């Protein structure tokens, strides 16, 4: 489990990059402004990604949280909020 006090935006971005490899997304394509749609993910993929992120950080991401997640930056914001960093 990670220490929520030390997690940065870059840390979360690296976890997302790592997890997206499982979706055959090129690491270099994963930038904050990239939309998940442009990365080839659909809504079911986004749910699967959120489960992987939950496991990585020991957090719960609700379905309502995902409604506003369109970009990698949005996902980072959700994770940091769940960790109490926003």
CA atoms of 30 and 33, how far apart (whole Å): 8
| Consecutive H or E run containing 32 | none
Q: For residue 3, indicate whether it is catalytic.
A: no
CA atoms of 28 and 14, how far apart (whole Å): 11
Which residue among 11, 42, 45, 65 is the active-site one?
42
Residues with active-site annotation = 42
């Amino acid at each position: 489990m990670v220490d929520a006090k030390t997690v940065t935006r870059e840390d979360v971005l690296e976890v997302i990059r790592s997890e997206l490899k499982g979706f055959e997304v090129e690491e270099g394509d994963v930038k904050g402004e990239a939309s998940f749609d442009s990365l080839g993910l659909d809504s079911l993929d986004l749910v699967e990604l959120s489960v992987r992120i939950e496991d990585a950080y020991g957090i719960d991401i609700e379905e309502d949280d995902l409604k506003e997640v369109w970009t990698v930056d949005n996902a980072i914001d959700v994770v940091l909020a769940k960790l109490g960093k926003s």
